Structure 1
Amino acid sequence: MRAVVLSGPESCSVEEVPVPEAAPGEVVVEVERVGVCGTDVELFTGELSYLQTGHSTYPLRPGHEWCGRVREIGDGVDPAWLGRRVMGDTMLGDQTCRRCRRGRQHVCEHRQEVGIRGGRDGALAERLAVPAWSLHELPDSVDEVLGALVEPGGNAWRAAQATGLEDGDRALVIGPGTIGLLTAMFLRAAGVEVHLLGVTDASLAFARGLGFDSAWTRDSLPELPYDAVVDASTHVASPAYALDRVEPGGRVVYIGISGTPSTIDTRTLLLRDVTAVGILSASPGLAATIAAYASGAVDPRPLVAATVGLDQVGGVLAGRRPEGGGPKIHVDPSVVRGG
C-alpha cells in the first residue's frame, strides 16, 4: 500500500509499504480522510521535542486525525466492528499502569501516539492498524470530513469545558487556528460570548466569516472583563499575556504550545486567584465531540480549506498550501495525483 514516510528532517516521500495485519486485539482500517496537524509539521521539520527525547525516531509514518472503515479484525475482537465507520484515539496507553487504570491513558508514561510516538504507524496511508479499544463509531450524520475533525475537536471540547464558563459569560480565545476556532465554536454553542485574538488580517477575516464578529488584534482588543482566556497560540509570549487579560478569580486554559520555553509570573496567578489548566489530548473528549457534530450543535466543516492526495502531503508540510481560507488541510488517501 502507499503511505507517507518521513525519513528525516525535511525529507518526505510516498512509499510502497507492507499492508498492516490485524494483530490480536487490533483492527485494520481503510483510511477515508486524514487531517494534517501542526504536530505533523514539527515532525517534518525535526522540531518536535519527542525527536530530542527519543520518544520519536525517523523513519516514521505520520497522521493521527483520521476516520475510516474497519476492514479486518484480529483475534479477540468483536466481529461486529467489521464494516463500521470509525475514528480512533491518538493516545494508546499500556492499559496496565496506574494512570491507565484511572482512565488517563493519554498521559501514560509508556504510551504510543498514533503517527507520532513510540513507533506506532500513522494514518497518512491507505490502511492503518490500531487497537480495537481505541475506536469510536461514527454515526451516519458524521461524514468523513467531520470524522477527521473529531480528534482536534476533542482537544477543543476539553479546552472549552476547562474554562468552566456558562451561558452569558465572556471568553477570550488567543489564536484563530484550527484548535482556537474549534474551541470558540464549542464555547459559542454553550452560550458564551466569544472574543478571538489573532495577528493576520486573513485569519481574523476568516473568523468573522464564521460569525465571530469580535475578532481582534492586540491593538484593537477591547478592555473588557474576560471570565476565561484560552491560549491556543504557539507564540512564546502568549501564556503570560493570557494571564494578564483574565479576570481575577477566572481561568486560563493552555492548549497551545510554543517551540521554546514560555514563562508566566506565578505571583500574578496567585494574587489574582486565577486557576490555570493545561490540556493534552482529545482522549476524554472524543465521544462528546462526536455527539456535538452529529447533533449539528457544532459544524467545523468550513475550517477545511482543501482536500489533497498523499502525493501532495510533502508540499503541505513544507508550507505550500492549496488555495482556501480555512486553516485545515485534509488528505484523501484514495486520491492519486502529483503535487
Structure 2
Amino acid sequence: MRALIFTGPGQAEVREVPAPVAAPGQVIVDVERAGVCGTDVELFTGEMSYLHSGRSSYPLRPGHEWSGVVSGCGPGVDPGWAGRRVTGDTMIACGHCRRCLGGRHHVCAEMRELGIADGLPGALAEQLAFPAAYLHALPDTVDAGLGALVEPGGNAQRSVTAAALEPGERLLVLGTGTIGLLTAMIGRARGLDVHLLGRHPVFARFTRDLGFANMWTRDSLPDLPWDAVVDATNGAEMPGLAVDLVEPGRRVVYIGLSGTPSTVDTRDIVLKDVTAVGILGASSGLEEVVRSYAEGSVDPQPLVAATVGLDDVAGVLAGRRPAGAGPGPKILVDPRR
C-alpha cells in the first residue's frame, strides 16, 4: 500500500510499504480521510519536542486525525466491527495502570500516540492497523470528512468543558485555527457568548461567515469582562495574556503549545484566584463531539479548505496552499487518490 513517510527534517515521501496485518485486538481500517495538523507540521520540520526527547524518531508515518471503514478484524475482536465507519482515539495506553483504571488513560506513563510517537504508524496511508478498544463508531450522518475532524473536535470539546461556563457567559478564544474555531463553535452550541481574538483582520470575514460577529485583533479587543479564556495559539506570549484578560476567580484553558517556553507570572494567577487548566488530547471529548456533529449542533465542514492526495501532503506541510483552496484552516487528505 501507499503511505506518507517522514524520513528526516523537511523530508517526506510517498512509499510502497507492506499492508498492515491485524494483530490480536486490532482491526484494519481502510482510511477515507486524514487531517493535516500542526503537530504533523512540527514532526515534518523537526521542531516537535518528541524528536528531541527520543519519543519520536525518523522514519515516521504521521496521521492522527482520521476516519475510515473497518475491512478486517484480528483475533479477539468482535466481528461486528467489520464494515463499520469509524474513527479512533489518538492516545493508546496500557489499560491496567492506576491512571488508566482511574479514567486518565491519556496520561498513562506507557501511552503511545498514533502517528506521533514511535511504535504506532499513523493514518496518512491507504490502510491502518488500530486497536479495537479505542475505536469510535460514526453514525451515517457523520461523513468521512467530518469523521476526520472528530479528533480536533474532541480537543475543543474538552477545552469548552474545562472553561466551566454557564449559558450566556462570555468566552474569549485566542486563536482562529482549527482548534480555536471548533472551540468557538462548541461554545456557541452551549449557549455561550463567544468572542475570538486573531492575529490578522483578514480572518474577520471568514469568522463572520461562520456566524461569529465578535472577532477581534489585539489592538481592537474591547475592555470586557471575560468569564473564561481559551488559549488555542502557539504564541509564547499568549498564556500570560490569557491570565491578564480573564476575570478574577475564573478559568484559563490551555490547549495550544508554543515552540519555545511560555512565561506566565504565577503571582497573577494567585492574586486573581485564577484556575489554569491544561488539555492534552481529545479522549474524553470524542463521544460528545460525534453526537454534536451527528445532530448538526456543530458543523465544522466550512473549516475544510481542500482535500488533497498523499502526493500533495509534503507541499502542504511546507506551507503551500492547494490551488482553489477555500478560506478554512483545515486540509484533509484522501489517501486513495
Query: Residue 149 of structure 2 corresponds to which residue in structure 1?
Result: 149
Query: What corresponds to 2:70 in structure 1?
Result: 70
**Corresponding residue for 1:250?**
250
How does the TM-score come out when normalised to structure 2? 0.98
Asked if 1 retains the 8 angstrom alpha-carbon contact of 2:160 and 2:186, the reply is yes
**Aligned partners of 2:107 and 2:204: how far apart in 1?**
34
Partner of 2:46: 46
Secondary structure in 1 matching 2:72:
strand
Q: In structure 1, what residue type is equivalent to 2:237?
A: A
Q: CA deviation at 1:207?
A: 1.3
Cα shift readout 1:165-190 (whole Å, capped 9, x = no counterpart): 11110011000110000000010011
Matches within 5 A, 1:184-195: 184-195=184-195
1:291 is displaced (CA, Å) by: 0.5
State how far apart, in whole Å, the 2-side matches of 1:304 and 1:202 are: 17
Secondary structure of the residue that 1:291 maps to in structure 2?
helix
Match of 2:328 in 1: 326
Match of 1:163 in 2: 163
Q: Structure 1 residue 111: deviation in Å?
A: 1.2
Write the letter of the residue equivalent to 1:256: G
Match of 1:103 in 2: 103
CA distance in 2, matches of 1:130, 1:103: 20
Residue by residue over 1:111-170, the C-alpha shift from the partner in whole angstroms, topping out at 9 and shown as x without a partner, is 111100132100000000010001000000101111000000000000001110111100
Q: Deviation of residue 204 (structure 1)? A: 2.7
Correspondence 1:180 to 2:180: yes
Partner in structure 1 of residue 290 of structure 2: 290
Letter in 2 for 1:171: L
- What is the SS of the residue equivalent to 1:156? helix
Conservation of the 8 A alpha-carbon contact between 2:60 and 2:118: no
Alignment of 1:156-305 (within 5 A): 156-305=156-305
> Residues of 1 paired with 2:304 and 2:202: CA distance?
15
Deviation at 1:230, TM superposition (A): 0.4
- Counterpart for residue 10 of structure 1: 10
Decide which moves more: 148-157 or 266-275: 266-275
In 1, distance between residues paired with 2:237 and 2:51?
Answer: 24
**TM-fit CA distance, 1:334:** 1.2
In structure 2, the gaps of 5 or more residues are none
Structure 1 gap segments, 5+ residues each = none
Query: What secondary structure sits across from 2:276 in the alignment?
Result: strand
**Distance (Å, rounded) in 2 between the aligned partners of 1:44 and 1:166:** 40
Offset at residue 200 of structure 1 (A): 1.5
> Could you say which residue in structure 1 is the equivalent of 2:112?
112
Q: Quote the offset at 1:96 in angstroms.
A: 2.0
TM-score, structure 1 as length reference = 0.98
The one-letter code of the counterpart of 2:20 is P
Partner of 2:29: 29
In 1, Cα distance between the equivalents of 2:190 and 2:239? 24
Residue 205 (structure 1) shift: 2.3
Q: Secondary structure at the match of 1:201?
A: coil
1:135 correspondence with 2:135: yes
For 1:47 and 1:204, the matched residues in 2 are separated by 30
- Contact in 2 for aligned 1:57/1:119 (Cα 8 Å): no
Task: Output the amino acid matched with 1:298.
Answer: V
Distance in 1, matches of 2:128 and 2:80, equals 18
Whether 1:84 aligns to 2:51 is: no
The alpha carbon displacement at 1:296 in A equals 0.5
SS of structure 1 residue aligned to 2:39: helix
Aligned length, in residue pairs: 335
Question: Is this contact kept in 2: 1:293–1:299, CA < 8 A?
Answer: yes
| Whole-angstrom distance in 2 between the partners of 1:56 and 1:87 | 23
Output the amino acid matched with 1:268: D
**Matched-pair identity in %:** 64
Structure 2: distance between partners of 1:253 and 1:112: 24
Q: Could you tell me whether the CA contact under 8 Å between 2:175 and 2:197 is conserved in 1?
A: yes
1:291-335 deviations in Å (ceiling 9; x for gaps):
010011100000000000000000001000123200000000111
Please report the RMSD computed on the Cα atoms of aligned residues, expressed in angstroms: 0.7
Any conservation in 1 of the 2:165–2:192 contact (CA below 8 Å)? yes
Deviation at 1:270, TM superposition (A): 0.8
